[in-house]
Copies of this chain bind each other. A is one copy, B any other.
């Protein structure tokens, strides 16, 4: 039987699509082929129909919804981890192996595995929601999978067929649906992760990898309603750089952010705001994209502004959703929706001239996170909220609009039924 060489790493979407169109489905028998002579020409994609499921014999207890807080530390039997995990192994000779859902368990890895030394790791953050009828839903999983493929390819990890992994994540979420609380605002946080597992101390492209998905039930980021955050502008450390990897969801982008974040917290601010360059361009807030609503000085028009995808900004799914909803629903009300570079000085001027309407971060964890003030050059620059106000109008609208899609209150193409 003729088996063509199927390119993996860096395979273009076109190549992948044509492969799918050609119906190059792999059958189970092929997985039995070892590292034999011909195996280097066989590259299997992830195949959901080969999924094997081994259910736990010790189902875990559930936490009360009110105890679910994002970012908690997991401990054994904490009720913060579902019973199972999804894994798919890859190696360069055989491609992707059969997917497995197994009881949640430790990973056993050689200490020379390249993930421990050279940060061969990338991930996604997404959630599964339960609608009123109990149907489990995902929110724009195609965007997460597209980004995970981009992240993986950038660090020489393998890419995969996105529909296959969405299918697998759906099956996984449904299997764990008892961990998804019914209430609005609650969800099952899903963490698809890919790591390089090759055992070598040489710095090179990993010859083996593991894609795994774990999950954790989470409550609303703001259980008692919005609480506007205060920021400290960071100009002494730089998160990302043109030509760097700041637009990819790589582990490499996160560890270096902790110290500046902790510095900001030590001075009483909740998050840090990343500035870039001598001009002081506003880029991201902590681990969220940043949005600002202000009146443009020259035109007098209301603008919703966010930094452009110039390679230094994470391509946030929530960012993209906010922009799309703003263009659809705010533009008709006279808002200009603009992706452009903007500086901290511009925010300062807008604040002092009464033109700064509101500011908020956008990300999967909180959806939107209203900003009260930004500490910059010794001053707390006020971002448009009145003293007893915890959110601006746009942030509130966006949260409602996005949640009603996520929880299936309205039917929308962004909501994916598992």
Q: Which residues of A contact B (CB under 8 A)?
A: 70-75, 81, 85, 104, 106-112, 115-121, 123, 153-156, 189, 191, 193, 195-196, 198-205, 207, 212, 214, 216, 236-238, 241-245, 250-259, 261-262, 287
Contact = CB atoms under 8 A, between A and B. Distances in A.
B252 A251 contact: yes
Nearest to A123: B117
Nearest to A208: B73
A53 to B, nearest CB: 17
A74 B123 CA distance: 26
Contact of A238 (B199, B214, B241, B259): B241
Given A74-B110, A106-B109, A251-B252, A201 B191 contact: yes
B236 A243 contact: yes
A156 B70 CA distance: 21
Contact of A72 (B104, B156, B202): B202
Nearest to A218: B201
25 contacts: A73-B200, A75-B199, A104-B111, A106-B108, A106-B110, A106-B111, A111-B212, A111-B214, A115-B116, A117-B254, A119-B121, A119-B250, A119-B251, A154-B259, A155-B258, A155-B259, A156-B258, A156-B262, A189-B201, A191-B201, A236-B243, A238-B241, A238-B242, A241-B241, A252-B255
A254 B207 contact: no
A259 B110 CA distance: 24
Contacts of A200: 71-74
Contacts of A109: 106-107, 109
A74 B112 contact: yes
A107 B109 CA distance: 5
Contacts of A256: 154-155, 244-245, 250, 252
A297 B198 CA distance: 48
Given A156-B262, A237-B243, A118 B255 contact: yes
A195 B252 contact: no
Query: Considering residues A75, A104, A243, which has the most beta carbons from chain B within 10 angstroms of its beta carbon?
Result: A243
Contacts of A112: 74, 81, 191, 214, 216
Given A70-B202, A111-B212, A156-B258, 17 more contacts: A71-B203, A73-B202, A81-B112, A106-B108, A107-B109, A111-B193, A112-B214, A116-B121, A118-B254, A119-B250, A119-B252, A155-B256, A155-B258, A156-B255, A238-B242, A252-B255, A252-B256
